[in-house]
Amino acid sequence: MQLATVVIGIGVLFGLNGCDAGCSNEISSRIESPRGTHVAVVFNRNCGATTGLNTQLSVIAKGEAVPEAPANAFIADGSLALRVRWVSESELVVAGFDGARIVKQAKLANGVAVSYE
Q: What is the pLDDT of residues 95-110, one digit of tens each?
A: 999 999 999 999 999 9
Residue 104 counted as domain residue:
yes
Smallest CA-to-CA distance from 84 within 64, 55, 111 is with 55
Using an 8 Å Cβ cutoff, are 39 and 60 in contact?
yes
Specify the higher pLDDT residue, 102 or 6.
Answer: 102
Structural domain for 72, as ranges? 24-116
**Helix (H) or strand (E) segment spanning residue 9:** helix 2-17
Using an 8 Å Cβ cutoff, are 80 and 55 in contact?
yes
Residue 8 counted as domain residue:
no
Number of domains comprising the chain: 1
- Reported pTM: 0.78
Per-residue model confidence as pLDDT tens digits over 44-67: 988 887 778 899 999 999 999 988
Residue 105 counted as domain residue:
yes
Instruction: Give the pLDDT mean for 20-29.
Output: 84
Residue 15 counted as domain residue:
no
Complete edge-to-edge strand list for the sheet that includes strand 112-116: 83-88, 91-95, 112-116, 108-109
